[in-house]
Structure 1
């Protein structure tokens, strides 16, 4: 079996970095980011012939410049792991056409209409907890709230039956998974599982899209109506859009909520301030996004030979943009390794920048805000529970598989 990594793999820099990390570094990758930033904002990686961008200004520039830094990462690749075209790996004008389909459904104003339903779901999930007023209760935050909330919300927004939510989680977990090592057997097993998950999702959404009836105002109904009226998407584009909405609709929010409480319990003064003043919740969420970015990296392909901040990049070069490193850049953020819920301004790149800025950012923020406000209102005490944390193994996602905490 060939042990060489196929360089057509998207985000290959993050892929290789994931495999080389120890468990401790997956739990805390930030010293590595600091070390790289000290070396330079843009660094070459001879292990695969690509580039790493760590600096904030450089990352923002690359994300904004879709002409020279293309998102079409699969156009020259025949790798078995490649998904069909989706909005994430397209450039304008097709990207603009696809994004316009659901833009109106994801504006902050449109998302606010979901507030009541999100509150109901949070209440239902927290009502399942039985708490002894004297001793409190230890819960796993991930399985109790952080995972089911966004899965239920995105499923309802798409008009998907509740019985299929577990499939959603299983599929999205595999899509963001990275290799635990670079041994050929582990890489091949992961690639095969990703391929199986994608094919299962394709068949599932093909069946959903060909149903005669869909819930009114669901995202799938919006996609189909827009397609009939003006856009003329291919079947593969429709299916890929649904897969993206599913995966992106829950992974980021799950890790945002989990990472928020991880920060709060690591920094008790911040939690105490928050308990005294709930109006600090939005700024605390923004600081969590900066400090423990749920998505650590993204990638691009250089479209033509260019000079970029003093380095010569060649057409076809892979570029890994480390959002989490940019969010710790001391040239932009004062005391970047300090968690500060009063930080202002806080122009982090956790949701990206430019035309690929995360479509679901308003939804992720709203779900996190409602979940956190409700927990602060219901419970008076939050404590960390000693546990052996298991970090998510991924080239670009940062979070934990479970997070035990004690509440009263």
Structure 2
């Protein structure tokens, strides 16, 4: 969900313990990915690393980097040897914040996932499709009104790719969509990474994240209190009512899940939508093909997820000595799994650096793998599908604007802050 919906990516941390948080964030920062160009295009670095080995040691961050597809899958499905819960401890979260399900191991992860699944079923998500299409149409109507229907430049992020998923998740949660500017500020902060590894830069980010997490918790505590007083069909209402073996989610667990949905449920989906349009504009023959046959949109989305994965990395902590990819991991070691690199592993994907919308099979890991596979994957795809098809239907011409793209500065989320396009509307 818009980078926003994933159960893979470490977005839960209010980071109060500076030393632990600095170590955690440093695990995702590499000198090879510090410039604007490198952040926009990390893929040459992945190729170089994969040519050296599927598992490499980074001494600067004191962590293992996993680039290979097979090795990444092994780690993500082997929760007994590779803990998600201990990464949460490494983030240095203060106070009584409950870790989200993406930062838990079984058996607690299993219990919470079962509870949440009761309210987050594929049937419930599929039922949102007509409403998602209606929201998309309304947002495009707003752009037409603002521009008078004249051809011109719009920012895809501000106009559609951000508001669509945040309105959807706000309605699902039962929170005011009018608060979406607050949501953007909070979700941007939750995925923000350090620009560099200087102590003052890291300490500043730690402090801002802690303050932002407190604001978020206070906000959702009030929202949950409101929904406890009424019987409704919102996701929060369903989560409040959900029980397995007479066990319900605690208040802190409810809040933590809301925070996860807000950040993962809007940040990554925004980047999926924008990533798809980057691919279409970089490959105009694909856009022409899609105009001729809109049924190919699902293949475009799957290949976008592989090619421009909205989440590029996640991490685990080794719980007991084990060998992976010919390297010996020791208990307590930090492991960074580079999903974006695994999705371009030539051992699995033919011509991995080519965008091939008809690629089949396409078993990418953009939504993770194993027990933490993204709950919101179907919702993210629904929203991307609605956005792409509506734009193609309403706009007779869409072209890129020559500009200098600004990458999101994050240790694990991949995207751009804005994406200007030139559009001409279909005459009615």
Question: TM class by shorter-chain length?
Answer: over 0.9
The unaligned stretches of length 5 or more in structure 2 are: 1-17
- Whole-Å separation in 2 of the counterparts to 1:118 and 1:186: 39
Q: Which moved more, 1:102-111 or 1:287-296?
A: 102-111
Residue 190 of structure 1 deviates from its aligned partner by 0.9
**1:265–1:384 contact (8 Å) kept in structure 2:** yes
SS of the residue aligned with 2:27?
helix
Residue 239 of structure 1 deviates from its aligned partner by 1.3
Q: Which residue of 2 aligns with 1:64?
A: 77
- Whole-Å separation in 2 of the counterparts to 1:206 and 1:337: 45
Residue 19 of structure 1 deviates from its aligned partner by 9.1
- Whole-Å separation in 1 of the counterparts to 2:325 and 2:33: 28
- Whole-Å separation in 2 of the counterparts to 1:259 and 1:298: 19
Q: Work out which of the residue numbers 360, 363, 378 in structure 1 matches 2:376.
A: 360
The superposition leaves residues 277-300 of structure 1 with CA deviations (integer Å, 9 ceiling, x where unpaired) of: 111100000000000000001111
- Kindly indicate whether residue 98 of structure 2 is the aligned counterpart of residue 84 of structure 1: yes
1:349–1:404 CA distance, 2 compared to 1 (3 A): same
Q: Which residue of 2 aligns with 1:341?
A: 357
Q: Which residue of 2 aligns with 1:207?
A: 222
The superposition leaves residues 82-124 of structure 1 with CA deviations (integer Å, 9 ceiling, x where unpaired) of: 9531101101111011111221443332211001111111011
Q: Work out which of the residue numbers 156, 165, 169 in structure 2 matches 1:154.
A: 169
CA RMSD of aligned residues (A): 2.0
SS of the residue aligned with 1:365?
helix
SS of the residue aligned with 1:381?
strand
SS of the residue aligned with 1:349?
coil
- The residue correspondences of 1:311-322 to structure 2 (distance < 5 A) are 311-322=327-338
Q: Which residue of 2 aligns with 1:114?
A: 128
Q: Which residue of 1 aligns with 2:13?
A: none
Residue 320 of structure 1 deviates from its aligned partner by 0.4
**2:32–2:45 contact (8 Å) kept in structure 1:** no
Q: Which residue of 1 aligns with 2:404?
A: 388
- Kindly indicate whether residue 119 of structure 2 is the aligned counterpart of residue 93 of structure 1: no
Q: Which moved more, 1:50-59 or 1:108-117?
A: 108-117
Residue 8 of structure 1 deviates from its aligned partner by 7.0
**1:159–1:219 contact (8 Å) kept in structure 2:** yes
Q: Which residue of 1 aligns with 2:258?
A: 242
- Whole-Å separation in 2 of the counterparts to 1:242 and 1:282: 28
1:184–1:8 CA distance, 2 compared to 1 (3 A): closer
- The residue correspondences of 1:163-174 to structure 2 (distance < 5 A) are 163-174=178-189
Q: Which residue of 2 aligns with 1:330?
A: 346
Q: Which moved more, 1:349-358 or 1:83-92?
A: 83-92
Residue 58 of structure 1 deviates from its aligned partner by 0.5
Q: Which residue of 2 aligns with 1:126?
A: 140
Q: Which residue of 2 aligns with 1:306?
A: 322
Residue 79 of structure 1 deviates from its aligned partner by 2.5
* TM-score in terms of structure 1 length: 0.94
Q: Work out which of the residue numbers 48, 52, 57 in structure 1 matches 2:65.
A: 52
Residue 13 of structure 1 deviates from its aligned partner by 2.1
SS of the residue aligned with 1:257?
helix
**1:54–1:323 contact (8 Å) kept in structure 2:** yes
Q: Which residue of 2 aligns with 1:182?
A: 197
Q: How many residues in Structure 1 have an aligned counterpart in Structure 2?
A: 403
- Whole-Å separation in 1 of the counterparts to 2:367 and 2:244: 31
**2:84–2:104 contact (8 Å) kept in structure 1:** yes
Q: Which moved more, 1:101-110 or 1:177-186?
A: 101-110
Q: Which residue of 1 aligns with 2:44?
A: 31
SS of the residue aligned with 1:407?
strand
1:35–1:78 CA distance, 2 compared to 1 (3 A): closer
**2:275–2:415 contact (8 Å) kept in structure 1:** yes
**2:194–2:201 contact (8 Å) kept in structure 1:** yes
Residue 318 of structure 1 deviates from its aligned partner by 0.5
- Whole-Å separation in 2 of the counterparts to 1:23 and 1:289: 21
SS of the residue aligned with 1:380?
strand
SS of the residue aligned with 1:300?
strand
SS of the residue aligned with 2:143?
coil
1:43–1:78 CA distance, 2 compared to 1 (3 A): closer
Residue 267 of structure 1 deviates from its aligned partner by 1.0
SS of the residue aligned with 2:57?
strand
